[in-house]
Chains A and B, each alone.
Chain A
């Protein structure tokens, strides 16, 4: 299938004297993590289908510095930020879309003060705008009537007050949107944020992702929808731990839409 993917880089665009409508910030998980790469591809398929002019930085992209900053290493964060800003500004990037809420938050909120001012949107917001502008149509397809619950990523929800875009997209699939007992501003973290993804948890009596997976399983979903590669990993592990992986799938919103379209 990969031969169908059209993924221009900013360098290629520049060589042709073109400026894309939007820069797709893939992020480290989206570039390297096997599970997250599927999300990246699903999103690209949709972009291709909707004829969106986009480009990636490719080998010129580097970690936004989010995990370093949340771990307390402000030096490393700002080094990363300044290097990325130099690259982004050199390409005169105006609008950035990313499928990672951590990259999204950092680029949107923490880069401007350091000289990087862009319009930054999360991929669920971008997909929603494609629908609103009739550049993309969604039919429920295989998800019609399916029970889907959305797990709010902290860095999309509480951190940036974006709750509706992902839910609107699920509704477009003619699926049954189910809310967990803790959702939106009250949503429970998956346990990966604040650089926890990269270390063991402190001693306690439970893993956070298990606690959150229990919230999700309580509403008896067919699918747990995520909007963050790290949440996706945590929830997938949680579902496996509960031995429910044959009944309950964990999927990114971009994957839902791409699959609904049989892309």
Chain B
């Protein structure tokens, strides 16, 4: 019976990590629904981007208040997780504060965890106020109606509960360490700059009760972490992991450089080749090329990774000229819709033994309307703003390509513009022969 705790802990850990791994596989499978795109070049630049933008948070501080608060929570999250390593070892082997042999180093570690935990609590409360009381425009936007708004708050509740449990656990431990004559295995270890003030509450409480509080906080804290880990899959909070690959695989070309469709290049070359046989039969196994994107399978895997990475902060939408002037387009919604549709397709595949059965729905029309797509000025403000280098613009462009090249569904004035380019080499109705007339005009 002595090992019951450890076995229970091992089972909990296995379940937590196991279910998360299972869902990670689903994420990977869904991302692979996307088309191939080669992002294996310029590895040095890619690592640099990841180090600066994901690890170094360089784009977050463009908005200093949110940026600094986010860095506190981020550093807190990363550093306090060192403590989780100790908790796991203690849990599996029945030890107590196994790293305490580090002596003064341990004191510094625990001390800094505590200070960070406190700062995280403060930051998270300010985040909550920004979302729910000050009602910043990008957080009360229609994009976030319903689940996305709750999701944002649930994440903040999680953080508050986890940090409170962590500090309570330490406070109880600290109290028991200082019981005169000692109490069980609670030897002096660690420094407790924050929780010593919580420990005051335990004065006069029976040691056995404080012990129960310490154990309860310890178990709930680690269980909470495992639940939070598994919550990620259902939440916008996946960015804490995916920001890293996302910044690594992001487009490195100048933002103005839009991809040239290779399938089109081949056809145009054929059209311009005087030796090409226009009546030549296509190879029997040729799959007709679909130009542009009407659904998630037409996008590339980096765009789908973008969708899972998006944490719906809305900086893109708040910088979008179309959105600022009341148009329906919201770059954040483009990313949210892409993810929602991708998950719908994923569930369809799961339900149909690994095969996608058409459901008469597409990303275009059922999620994103043509009106949204045509409002974009391709100004790249959304791409510039994104703290993790997501490109809503690339998805907008590919869906426009589908509308124009597959459906001939461009707005009428654009059709006129394109006809002019085709006929006389300018978007307006002027003859190409007159291009130099300005020289002699007054």
Contact = CB atoms under 8 A, between A and B. Distances in A.
Contact of A154 (B379, B416, B417, B426): B379
B402 to A, nearest CB: 8
Nearest to A5: B439
A191 interface: yes
B352 interface: no
Contact of A78 (B265, B400, B437): B265
Contacts, number: 220
A59 B404 contact: no
B141 to A, nearest CB: 15
Contacts of A82: 268-269, 272
A30 to B, nearest CB: 8
Interface in A138-171: 154-155, 158-161
Contacts of A17: none
Interface residues of B, number: 69
A72 B325 contact: no
Interface residues of A, number: 73
Given A1-B442, A73-B410, A159 B255 contact: yes
Given A198-B414, A198-B417, A2 B375 contact: no
Contacts of B404: 71-73
A68 B144 CA distance: 34
A199 B427 contact: no
Interface in B243-281: 253-258, 260-261, 264-265, 267-269, 271-272
A160 B380 CA distance: 11
Given A2-B442, A75-B405, A199 B414 contact: yes
Contacts of B260: 74, 78, 110, 113-114
B438 A41 contact: yes
Interface in A29-66: 30-33, 37, 40-41, 56-59, 61-63, 65
B417 to A, nearest CB: 4
Nearest to B272: A82
Contact of B265 (A114, A201, A202): A114
B285 to A, nearest CB: 24
Most central of A30, A79, A197 by chain B CB within 10 Å = A79
B397 interface: yes
Nearest to A40: B438
Contact of A160 (B254, B265, B325, B400): B254
B438 A65 contact: no
B187 to A, nearest CB: 55
Contacts of B414: 71, 195, 198-199
A79 B255 CA distance: 23
A199 B254 contact: no
A131 interface: no
Contacts of A159: 254-257, 380
Interface stretch (A205-213, A217-225, A239-247, A250-258): A205-213
B26 to A, nearest CB: 32
Interface string B375-410: 111111101100000000000010011111100001
B255 A158 contact: yes
Most central of B258, B264, B384, B404 by chain A CB within 10 Å = B258
A206 B425 CA distance: 32
Contacts of B380: 154, 158-159
Given A158-B255, A189-B381, A59 B374 contact: no
Contacts of B291: 74
A208 B325 CA distance: 6
A204 B379 contact: no
Interface in B133-165: none
Given A160-B256, A192-B377, A211 B421 contact: no
A63 B436 contact: no
A19 interface: no
Contacts of A5: 439
A7 B256 contact: no
Contacts of B253: 109
A69 B258 contact: yes
Contact of A59 (B272, B435, B440): B435
Contacts of A74: 260-261, 264, 291-292, 401, 405
Interface of A: 1-2, 5, 7, 9, 26, 28, 30-33, 37, 40-41, 56-59, 61-63, 65, 67-76, 78-80, 82-83, 105, 108-110, 113-114, 154-155, 158-161, 185-186, 188-189, 191-208, 211-212
Shortest 4 CB-CB contacts between residues of A and residues of B: A159-B256, A72-B400, A194-B378, A62-B425
Given A32-B426, A72-B400, A158-B381, 15 more contacts: A58-B435, A63-B427, A68-B417, A78-B260, A159-B256, A160-B254, A161-B254, A188-B381, A193-B378, A194-B377, A199-B417, A204-B326, A205-B325, A208-B321, A208-B324
14 contacts: A7-B439, A28-B426, A31-B430, A31-B437, A32-B434, A70-B397, A71-B404, A109-B253, A154-B381, A159-B380, A160-B254, A188-B381, A189-B321, A202-B322
Interface of B: 253-258, 260-261, 264-265, 267-269, 271-272, 291-292, 319, 321-322, 324-329, 371, 374-381, 383-384, 397, 400-405, 410-411, 413-414, 416-418, 421-422, 425-428, 430, 432-442
